[in-house]
């Protein structure tokens, strides 16, 4: 079964707002990764957080990891139209969740 599960399944926000999506997983991990997929394209790696890290930043992205709760969150600040995409979390064994579809409204 799939290791990661994202929540919510879909999210619509106004441009400029922050978007938060969550990921839960089932077993112990060495790292957790977030990916973006634009419609009809391959996935693009966004950020990797290791199991001994609690928070990581990359530009407008902020990822947190709580290994005790087996959960992670991805925050996109000051959203832009170009952020419209599906976002997936993945564990180090290569298991992906079903994704969160993010739609940025103009």
Partner 1 sequence: NAGVTQTPKFQVLKTGQSMTLQCAQDMNHEYMSWYRQDPGMGLRLIHYSVGAGITDQGEVPNGYNVSRSTTEDFPLRLLSAAPSQTSVYFCASSYPAQGGAGELFFGEGSRLTVL
- Name the residue nearer to partner 1 (CB basis): 15 or 53: 53
> Quick check: 59 and 47 in contact, CB under 8 A?
no
Q: From the CB of 93, what's the least distance to partner 1, in Å?
A: 5
Q: In terms of C-beta density within 10 A (0-12 exposed, 13-18 middle, 19 or more buried), how is residue 47 classed?
A: middle
- Name the residue nearer to partner 1 (CB basis): 45 or 80: 45
- Which residues form the interface with partner 1 (CB under 8 A)? 1-2, 29-31, 33, 35, 40-45, 48, 88, 90-99
- Name the residue nearer to partner 1 (CB basis): 18 or 36: 36
Q: Is 27 helix (H, G, I), strand (E, B) or coil?
A: coil
Which run of H or E residues covers position 53? Answer: none
């Amino acid at each position: 079964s799939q290791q990661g599960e994202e929540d919510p399944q879909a999210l619509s926000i106004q441009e400029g707002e922050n978007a938060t999506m969550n990921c839960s997983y089932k077993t112990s991990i060495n790292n957790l990764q977030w990916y973006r997929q634009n419609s009809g394209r391959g996935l693009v790696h966004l950020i990797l957080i290791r199991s001994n890290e609690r928070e990581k930043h990359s530009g407008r992205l902020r990822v947190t990891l709580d290994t005790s709760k087996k959960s992670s969150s991805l925050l996109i600040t000051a959203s832009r139209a170009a952020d419209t995409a599906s976002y997936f979390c993945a564990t180090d064994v290569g298991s992906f969740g079903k994704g969160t579809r993010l739609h940025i409204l103009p």
